[in-house]
Structure 1
Amino acid sequence: MRGVFVVIFCCGFLQLVSSQCRTVRKTNENWGCYNDGKELEPGEYFEDPVTCDECTCLGGGFLSCCANAVTFSDLSPDCEVVKDGCKAVAVLKSDRSKLCPEVTFTGKKK
């Protein structure tokens, strides 16, 4: 029970500091959560393959999801953003195997 409280507190705190998080009630269950037909235990974490959101089951049917997108800004004209699923990197246009030397980004870098 203490672990569930810690998860709920941490996720609530994350929502306060990040406006890109949201909590949704997925079912009327009293204990865990359901997502796409899969039962989740309180504290269980997953990354949504479609939206790339990071989600945690809070229990009681509540699911907390936070956006996990990386946005690049001030990208050099010599660079481009390459996406692979939920991951994105800034690489040199002339040699896509090399990362851009100076990049400004917001979000979580993977």
Structure 2
Amino acid sequence: MDRILTVGVILAITAILCDGQCFSGTAIPVRPGEKPPLGCYWDGHFLGVNTHMTKNCQSCYCSEGGGLSCCVNGMHITHVPDECKIITAEDGCGERAVTKEDETVECMHDVQAVSRRYLH
């Protein structure tokens, strides 16, 4: 039961943090009477409708009508408890808080972090 509760807490925190790291908008302006675009342009790349791309620690999705939604991947950890340490995430996009004794064990309490989006 404790494991289910822990997983639920992790998912809730992840959803909250991801929401703070995302942005959306219309990638290509559409004038009244014009057909909506068949995709989006993002960072010099064309994304077809209903496709996504990950580049430079950002994931973007193109919806119908040229709507572009992007999320910054990764967090910058600003504080961990004494029994933990900060390591670089495997994908290179952010950091993870792990125990000093075993880097495969995530620190689950008293960890503070900010979105990489706000570091620029």
Q: TM-score range by the shorter chain?
A: 0.5 to 0.7
Q: Is the 1:90–1:100 Cα contact (8 Å) retained in structure 2? A: yes
Aligned residue in 2 for 1:45? 52
TM-score, length basis structure 1: 0.54
1:62-82 deviation line (CA, Å, top 9, x unaligned): 311134434658732121121
Q: Is the 1:82–1:88 Cα contact (8 Å) retained in structure 2? A: yes
Out of 38, 57, 60, the position equivalent to 1:55 is: 60
Question: Structure 2 unaligned runs (5+)?
Answer: 1-14, 30-35, 115-120
Task: Compare the two structures and name the one with the higher helix fraction.
Answer: 2
Aligned residue in 2 for 1:81? 86
Question: Structure 1 unaligned runs (5+)?
Answer: 1-13
C-alpha displacement at 1:42, in angstroms? 1.0
Structural RMSD (CA): 3.4
TM-score, length basis structure 2: 0.51
Consecutive aligned runs of 4 or more in structure 1 exceeding 6 Å deviation: none
C-alpha distance in structure 2 between counterparts of 1:46 and 1:35, whole Å = 9
